[in-house]
Every structure is written in structure tokens, then in C-alpha cells.
Amino acid sequence: MTKIAILGYGTVGSGVYEVVKKNKDVIAGKLGDEIQVKYVLDLREFEGDPVQEVLVHDVDVILNDAEVAIVCETMGGEHPAYEFTKRALESGKSVCTSNKELVEKHGPELIRIAEAHDCSYLFEASVGGGIPIIRPLRTSLAQEEILSITGILNGTTNYILTKMETEGLAFDTVLARAQEKGYAEKNPDADVLGLDACRKIAILTSLAYGKKVDFEDIVTEGITAITDVDFAYAKKMGATIKLFAKSVKKGDKYYAIVAPFIVKPENPLYAVKGVFNAILINCNMGGETMYYGKGAGKLATASAVVADVLDCARHIGKHLDIRWEDQKLAISPVDGAVRRFFVRVPLADEPRIKDIFGEVEMYTDIAAGECGFVTEEMTEAEYRDKAAGFGSVLSMIRVD
């Protein structure tokens, strides 16, 4: 019998409780051992909910109980999650978390503390919700040099873009509907501005290369500027538009960006619709693999936390190694990144396109008073210099 505690009985925490209860027998069968929730920490009361029997309000009850081997931190936010996690690890209890913010800010330090105390700090649920991605990156791909990671890492924006594409609606209309349905927050900035995806690609890139990627170093553009006219062009190209969170290793340089991209059907990420997430990883030996599933949601996220719990339960007294040094991974300026660009300019500028950009793929008659084109490959800096030659650019979307 392995005894665990859950810190925070919110959406994910109550999901963890549910997964452990409902799948008790499955878990015991595969693990060869039972998992029991000994405590749930929450400031609130939950009268009438069976959780009340194991509810405590004081974290010390948990931290001082030597029987508790594993703690699930599902509180979210930096404080007091950071302090509780640190103390749990220092007392030799492994911690499994869904807390992306904490992982992104303090991952390397918490892993080091876990190592020093022969326990583990695992965070599968912090990126990609229910999609196994952190563990495959750490184990199944440990023999690989990672050449690129491209993720659809935010369900809200993928839902909005999918609806804009399939129903021809404007961004604001779809966002309002998504908010009604609970697919988007009342303050949707973290999602629609790309900040959530940015934190996640920072974590994945850190794990791929074993060094710390600061999310502030990643150029981040959201989807707020994408219009139905952009989708009309994409459709003409036989493509769609996706918010990609991307990091690339090119020689000894590392690039990272979060931005909308024009995506063709040849890319397996093209088919990822609605609230689903997926991560495409390109490796120097095995080539491309992709991981797809629910990027959020109570039970999917909780399930990933419980997967970590089982991993810890299999390795009591042992540290599960995750290479993630405090040393910073230098992200090169996006200026040097090479790709193609889809550009819309006023129709009056059409005659100058070839002079400025040379060979392009032209798209006309999509919208009145304008035209669009896709450039050849060039650096972001080159693109910017050339684009400055126009009076105005109506829209630019990178092409994958």
C-alpha cells in the first residue's frame, strides 16, 4: 500500500482523487500495489463529499506523516505551492504536479532538491494535459538528438482557430462563444496572446536540451490578429492556420517562437482540431513522432498526475532523473530563423511585389482591394527589411 496526499481539491485535485478511486483495481493490477489517498489538503470544507473524511487544513499534518510517500501538488500558482513542494521533497516525499507556472519558474531547483533527498519531482500534467509527452521525452527519446519540437499546446486557441476555419466566423464572435461554453476564460489573454503555449514550449525545450529556457526569451505572438480573410487565403492554399509553439536546433543555434503558422495537410498537426493538443518531435535518428490528446480538462490532466504517482510508487527511495540544469539555454534572436512568409498587401502594391521579394506564389481575388503572396525561404530579418519596402502590410503569417 502506497499512501499519497493531494494538495488542493480544485478541478485537477478532485480529478486525481476520482482517478485513484475509480481505477483502484486497474492500478493495483498494473502496479502490483494499492494507492490510497490518505489526505486531501484544502482550506474549504466539502460536507457530503466522501473526501471530507480525509480532508485536512494544515499542510504540516501531511508533511510530518512519514507514511505519506507521494504528494500531488494540484494547487496551482507560485505560492504557497513552491514552499509546500520544497518541504515535501526535503522530507523525502516525491511530488507530482500539474503546476506549469511552478515547473517553469523553479523546475531545476526542485529537481535538485528531489535528487538530494532520494525522491522525485515529476510534472507530466504541466504540459499537454493528458498527453504523455514529458515522460516519452525523458525516456523513449533519451537516445535522440532533438532537432525540433512543434506543438499545438493550447486548446482554447486551437478551438477558436478551428471554428474560424470551419464556420467562417470572425475571431471575436468565436471567442465570445468559447467563453459562453467555458472553453475560454473570461480574461482570455494568457491563451489568445500565446503566453500559455509559450510557458509550455519553454518547459519542453528545457527538457530536450537539459538547460533552462526562459519563456521571456521566446518571441510570442497570439491569434488576435487572425481574420476570416486570412483563413480564406489559407483555404485557397489548401492549408489552415494553427498557433504553433516551436523550438528548433540548427547547428549549435536554438530558435524558439510562438506564433500563428500556415500549415499544409502534409503536416500531421494539420489534422489536430478543436480543443485537442499535439506535439510533433523531430529527431536525428528516429525521425518524426507525434503525441496527441486532450491538452486540458479535469480527468485528462488528473490522469497524467496519477501516471506520475505510479512512477514514483515504483521507485520509492530512488530519484527519477530529469536532466534540467540551471544553466541558461541561449535562444538565438528570431531574426536568424529561416522560413517562408505569407503576406497580404494593398492591391496598389501588387506591381512592386516581384521587385521586392523576387519569386513568390501569388494569390489574388480573395478579398477586395488587396492581394496575398508567399515568399521563398528567407530569414526573419530579411523578411522584415524587405517588407519595410511596402507602405503597409495588411497581415503576415509564417508558413510552416
Question: Which residue ranges make up the site for its own copies (CB under 8 A)?
Answer: 18-20, 22-23, 26-27, 29-32, 124, 130-132, 135-136, 139-145, 210, 265-266, 268, 270-273, 276, 278, 283-294, 297, 299-300, 302-304, 306-307, 309-311, 314, 321, 323
Q: Closer CB to its own copies, residue 46 or residue 291?
A: 291
360 contacts 353 by C-beta, under 8 angstroms: yes
200 is catalytic: yes
Calpha distance 379→96 (Å, rounded): 41
Q: Closer CB to its own copies, residue 288 or residue 376?
A: 288
Q: Closer CB to its own copies, residue 74 or residue 220?
A: 74
Q: Which residues of 352-379 are buried (b: 16+ CB within 10 A; e: fewer)?
A: ebeebbeebeebeebbeebbbbbbeebe
Calpha distance 40→334 (Å, rounded): 45
Q: Closer CB to its own copies, residue 9 or residue 17?
A: 17
Q: CB 335 → its own copies: shortest distance, Å?
A: 28
Taking the mean position of all CA atoms in its chain, how far away is CA 58? 32
Q: Closer CB to its own copies, residue 91 or residue 140?
A: 140
Whole-angstrom Cα Rg for the chain: 23
Q: CB 182 → its own copies: shortest distance, Å?
A: 17
Provide the grid cell at 288: 518524426
Q: Closer CB to its own copies, residue 36 or residue 364?
A: 36
Q: Closer CB to its own copies, residue 321 or residue 377?
A: 321
Taking the mean position of all CA atoms in its chain, how far away is CA 64? 34
Calpha distance 76→199 (Å, rounded): 14
> ∠326-83-308 over CA atoms, to 5°?
70
Q: CB 288 → its own copies: shortest distance, Å?
A: 6
Phi and psi at residue 4, to the nearest 5°? -125, 165
Q: Count of CB atoms within 10 A of residue 34's CB?
A: 14
86, 93, 100, 200: which one is catalytic? 200
Q: CB 106 → its own copies: shortest distance, Å?
A: 21
Q: CB 130 → its own copies: shortest distance, Å?
A: 4
Q: Enumerate the H helices of the chain as residue ranges.
A: 11-22, 24-31, 59-63, 81-90, 100-116, 134-138, 155-167, 171-181, 189-192, 195-209, 228-236, 298-314, 353-357, 380-387
Dihedral over alpha carbons 294, 299, 301, 303 (to 10 degrees): -110
Q: CB 18 → its own copies: shortest distance, Å?
A: 8
Angle separating helix axes 155-167 and 171-181, nearest 10 degrees: 130
State the pairing for strand pair 240-250/219-220. Answer: unpaired
Q: CB 124 → its own copies: shortest distance, Å?
A: 7
Q: CB 313 → its own copies: shortest distance, Å?
A: 10
Calpha distance 236→230 (Å, rounded): 10
Q: Is 99 helix (H, G, I), strand (E, B) or coil?
A: coil
Residue 186: CA atoms inside 13 Å, Cβ hemisphere, count?
0
Q: Closer CB to its own copies, residue 306 or residue 345?
A: 306
- Give the residue among 143, 121, 98 at the shortest CA–CA distance from 289: 143
Give the active site residues. 200
